[in-house]
Amino acid sequence: MKKQVDAEVHALANVYHIYVERISKRKPGEVLSPHEPAVVKRAINPFLQTDERDIMVVEVRSVPYDFHDRYKAGERTYFYRLLSGSRPL
């Protein structure tokens, strides 16, 4: 299995947005109200966590339709750890 370039990267309080539209199975084309945030969280996490080091969703919130995680971020802080020496990581 090829290792991803961003493997071993950690993020704290990272925000991500998705647009979800619920369509009725009983009445095709009918748009239903969104699921409760807790339902979404329980539905997503099993797909993300295949072992204890994987990511997980810790909170789900409904946000306005014009919200965008990249453009609404108040700030970003990056920390880099530089290692030197002859021994490989």
> For the chain, what are the domain ranges?
1-89
**What type of residue sits at position 11?**
A
Say which amino acid occupies 13.
A
State pLDDT tens for residues 33-55: 888 999 999 998 898 887 777 77
CA dist., res. 38 & res. 60, Å (int):
7
Using the predicted structure, report yes or no on whether residue 74 has a pLDDT greater than 70: yes
Q: Report pLDDT digits (tens) over 6-36.
A: 555 566 677 888 888 888 999 988 999 888 9
* pTM for the whole structure: 0.60
Q: How confident is the model at residue 71 (pLDDT cuts 50, 70, 90)?
A: confident
Question: How far apart, in whole angstroms, are the C-alpha atoms of residue 6 and residue 42?
Answer: 26
